[in-house]
Amino acid sequence: MSSFCAQCSIDIFREDLKDYEHMAPELEPFPEGKGIGVLCEDCGWTVVDELGKCISKTCLKKHGEKD
């Protein structure tokens, strides 16, 4: 099954399907700028925060540079 970061999900499906949100720690958010490595089917190997938002400056879509 394909998985997408929040930004790619919105770009492709017009909504955040929350593919990576289930990986979030249940008690606390990640420290700012930290996340978990994942493979997004559109932006490639990347890092997402606890909400599944791509925060990597090196993803193929340059999501982290836009913030």
| Residue 5 amino acid letter | C
Q: Which residues pair with 10 in a beta bridge?
A: none
- Find the distance separating the first CA and the last CA of the chain, reported in whole Å: 28
CB 64 within 8 A of CB 56: yes
* pTM score of the predicted model: 0.84
Q: Which two tokens stand for residue 67?
A: 């913030």
Listing DSSP states for 10-53 in one string gives HHHHSS---TTGGGS-SSSPPPTT--EEEEETTTEEEEE-TTS-
Check pLDDT > 60 for residue 67: no
pLDDT digits (tens, 9 = 90+) for 3-51: 999 999 999 999 999 998 877 666 567 777 788 899 999 999 999 998 8
Query: Domain spans of the chain?
Result: 6-65
